[in-house]
Structure 1
């Protein structure tokens, strides 16, 4: 790829990225990629040291370089997840269980592409040469090479149970992240993610209805579904960042990223535990979703559950610690055996392949 100077240059690179990952542009029909800016929650900065001041419309208005660097980093990480998810999911296009599901996947993919486009628009428009460089790098990393910035977005999505679980839980993390950014003191970012949130809800709807249809069909064993929950939820917990994060602390002080419940929160923010609090709110929401899914499981079958926050973590205070899905401490040897029992295995995938050959493994979408 050549050097990016203008946004038109970036668009050329975007087209090359789609070609390189093998995404047929004809799948998108007459869909037009564009930037979308929605209304601000408030015209004034909502929290932090600059609360009450007008939200910044240009990077030059931001008081110091540390804040500008923090803002750039938030945009880069968000953009990286968008392109990565397309790379993870594109291999499922030829194995969709129904035409509805194939069209839903295409819609999810094109909206993720648009979200990445939106973040690169911000980088290209507001951040000069450093933004152009980062926008280019977003199109150079690859999920299937394992060099995307966050662990969840390097993990393989091998089948449609994978996909529905991913969109149920990983896209739900996306909702949390976008909601927190929608309060940002940088107006173009807040306007961008508010528009993105409206599209993100379809992604979560796809995951939740897909899992509901699988469970109601009753063909996929509940213990296998649980393994995919364990796979994706444990990595989703990591997406909220480290415990007692200084980055989250300063992002709040600078007004760049708020709490998930910023509008409803009555208490003053505990800036030392912002990531922990968001992760716990996410956990609560996921538990309610799983309980709703359990209503469709016959009484003689095992219930689904949300794995403990300490299970299979890669960052934070419990990173690398050997806890079970129930949060029980295990020896190193016990833990390795446990992982083989509670995460998807090649044998599980072979069993799913056989089940997927039957047309009734997932209910038709009404």
Structure 2
């Protein structure tokens, strides 16, 4: 790591080299403001939960009581930053095949915002955590999703086409919303203050996914059973992102006050008891409930008599947790058939090689309904030269 940055300006130069290496043209950002943003008021001044509740939030890393807590903060910030840059590496190539001008704009804006979020996390590492932080900030630019060495498996998965992209932004980016929300009450004030602006931008990512899936349904070109298989693929991926069911890391992060529950402030106001042993499972439950409601909204756009879309059970197709690689159906039941029966079941419920071939032809049609761009979106220049 010969180019370990000593200053923030050094890191920015390395970031530009990363853009060049992954083939991201800076002009695709248009007038997007790649900047560091904090919402100090929303972050609050007092630690809200855990063993240090009631004390002033920590504004510098040396105020954090123990090295193990500082290490946990560095790890959380690093993982969050890693996902942001990985998403750009996964999605960059899609700009060349955008189905509409609006979708090109939306994807380019999402990638610009993901880079800003990565900047924000790198800034925290560079500014508050000394040489350890500088080292991790540089590593954010050295790992690459195309090489399969990003920290979380979901962010190494190929995203070959726009159907994947719409499902990804609908379901995987929604996991991101939950993760940011749980960090928004952190006892480390610069981290908590970073979350407000990031959450505002994240809402556009989720909207892009839900809007894209609605427009797919309206166009009526993609078969609904095929759409369901891609939903199953990315929902199960998102379920994994919440981590193992009983997590000691989540337990101690709560005890230390550095990562809370989803809707922590509402739960504190409602005197909702915390179960430190099942924090990941609780967050996954809230996520699952939300996406069930979102898919129910999509069903309102289906043609009359069509089979309803659904959200697969949390046990289905898991690679992490108690049901890792267990044979469970989309409704959560344990599968009891033969190996051949299981293979046939999976082929009916997850995307197949034939689906990928069929999509090549379907994408030649108007497979997603048009969406006009606003005057402001056009004037922004975001994605215009992609």
Structure 1 residue 300 displacement after superposition: 2.7
**Structure 1 equivalent of residue 364 of structure 2:** 357
State the match for 1:177 in structure 2.
Answer: 179
The answer as to 2:350 corresponding to 1:348 is no
Structure 1 residue corresponding to 2:97, chosen from 95, 98, 101:
95
- Between the aligned partners of 1:121 and 1:182, the Cα distance in structure 2 is 17
* Cα deviation, residue 332, structure 1: 6.8
In structure 2, what is the equivalent of residue 148 of structure 1?
Answer: 150
CA RMSD of aligned residues (A): 1.3
Measure, in 2, the Cα distance between the counterparts of 1:248 and 1:30: 39
| 1:77-116 equivalent positions in 2, closer than 5 A | 77-116=79-118
Change (3 A) 1:332 1:127: farther
SS of 2:42's partner is: coil
TM-score (norm: length of structure 2): 0.92
Match of 1:320 in 2: 325
- Mapped to 1, the partners of 2:33 and 2:255 lie a distance apart of 37
Cα deviation 1:205-225 (Å, max 9, x = unaligned): 111101001111111100111
Distance 1:338 1:157 in 2: 23
Q: Which residue of 1 aligns with 2:380?
A: none
CA contact (8 A) 2:43 2:189 kept: no
What residue in structure 2 maps to residue 40 of structure 1?
Answer: 42
Instruction: Provide the residue aligned with 2:295 in structure 1.
Output: 290
Shift of 1:34: 1.1
Q: For 1:107, what is the secondary structure of its paired residue?
A: helix
Q: Which residue of structure 1 aligns with residue 282 of structure 2? A: 277
Aligned positions, number: 365
What's the CA shift string for 1:252-277, capped at 9, x where partnerless?
Answer: 11111111121221312111111111
Distance 1:125 1:113 in 2: 18
Distance 2:203 2:44 in 1: 22
Cα distance in structure 1, aligned partners of 2:74 and 2:194: 14
Q: List runs of 5+ in structure 2 lacking aligned partners.
A: 373-386
Q: What does the per-residue CA deviation read over 1:146-204, in whole Å, with 9 as the maximum and x for residues that have no partner? A: 11111211111111111111001111101000001000000000011111111000000
Does the 8 Å contact 1:40/1:187 carry over to 2?
A: no
In structure 2, what is the equivalent of residue 242 of structure 1? 244
Structure 2 match to 1:18:
19
After superposing the two structures, state which structure 1 stretch, 121-130 or 152-161, moved more: 152-161
Deviation at 1:346, TM superposition (A): 2.2
Runs ≥4 residues deviating over 6 A:
none
Unpaired segments ≥5 residues, structure 1: none
TM-score by length of structure 1 reads 0.97
Higher RCO, Cα 8 Å, sep 6+: 2
* Equivalent position SS for 1:53: coil
Q: Paired residue for 1:337, among 335, 344, 369?
A: 344
Moved more, 198-207 or 298-307: 298-307
